[in-house]
Amino acid sequence: MTTLVNARLVLPGEVRHGWLRTAGDRIAELAPPGEAPGQAPSTGEVDDVAGRYVVPGFVDVHVHGAAGVSYQSGLADEAARAARFHREHGTTTTMASLVTGSPQELAKAVSGLAEVAADGVIAGVHLEGPYLSAARCGAHDPAWLRPPDPAEFRDLVQAGRGHLRMITLAPELPGALELVRTAVSEGVIAAVGHTDATAARTREAIEAGARVATHLFNAMRPVHHRDGGPVVATLNDPRVTVELINDGVHVDADVARLVFAAAGAGRVALITDAMAATGMGDGDYRLGGMDVRVRDGRALLADGTSIAGSTITMADAFRRAVTDVGLPVEQAARAAALTPAGMLGLADDIGSLEPGKRADLLVLDDDLTVTRVMKNGRWL
């Protein structure tokens, strides 16, 4: 049992000065509202955090790798290395995202990552493709783009053994709406992304069961005042969670501010879209079958035609949400933890500092730098 005292607890809707107690791998109790200082329980170990912020561990639903390795390999040791890097930087729950590849490559990667997910290293697998628009493929290998294939998808679901959690697809492709319905029936989240769809087609996908917009604005038909496309269609629907890569490269801070004003932190999930270069510095890398060049922390395809993911951590995205976008710290924490947890159906277990939830939490300095990470009630 550990009690964190002298903390600024970042809770849903407020920042409360007080204490938090953990027992085993769970949050056991919080200081009640309005309690006078100095009334923290003295049972067990007492840890004075000296007035620092305590926030829930971050949840990243869209990340491709880090520390020089990619989830695309499907190898357990590489997946563990990438997940460990992000965990050390505050992401206590992470998905593993795969880019477009051959049927054999994807099946192998999904099968390998299913074992990693079964061990609790990752929260599941996200297929970003291969059913994407050639006109909006971004950093995906166009040679492997293909129309939605229900038989292939079901094979991937089977390979995932219950750990395939999400698929991004372009809803305008032939058979896409049926694949959305199939995904929902299999318990897989359907997301619209890498799409040239009209607003009307996007709304059809939402009615079919799509509930996520993959990295809003990026690799999407842009907003037009006579057809808002997927951006406006998803922002306007309260059933949809929109992902946002808040690195200052993919989306301008003014645009991010507009998104939060339109949808609120309860519907915006901050993501990293981080690739293998994260934590490694500038150099030449691979993202799936594509060559990527990183210069000044910005990842581009080697031919310069597209941004190729990011090199940020969720801690970076969270900090920028406060310092650049101007969100209150409790709203930034919601977008970095509780909203993505809810998107995955895990909000009863993680994503906020509440009794009974898993003791995944972070200690931050005044400048919002992560100084300590607790996972399952243990400090890393």
Cα(214)–Cα(189) distance, integer angstroms: 11
Cα(184)–Cα(218) distance, integer angstroms: 24
Establish whether 365 is a catalytic residue: no
Residue 110 structure tokens: 């999904």
Helix count and strand count (H, E) for the chain: 10, 22
If we measure between CA atoms, which residue out of 101, 62, 54 comes closest to residue 278?
62
If we measure between CA atoms, which residue out of 32, 132, 48, 124 comes closest to residue 340?
124
Q: In which element (H, E) is residue 111 found?
A: helix 103-118
Chain length of the chain: 380
Cα(176)–Cα(16) distance, integer angstroms: 46
Which of the following is catalytic: 196, 247, 273, 360? 273
Angle between helices 150-160 and 176-185 (to 10 degrees): 30
Q: Are 1 and 43 in contact (CB under 8 A)?
A: yes
Residue 201 structure tokens: 């087609």
Per DSSP, the three-state class of 163 is: coil
Active site residues: 273
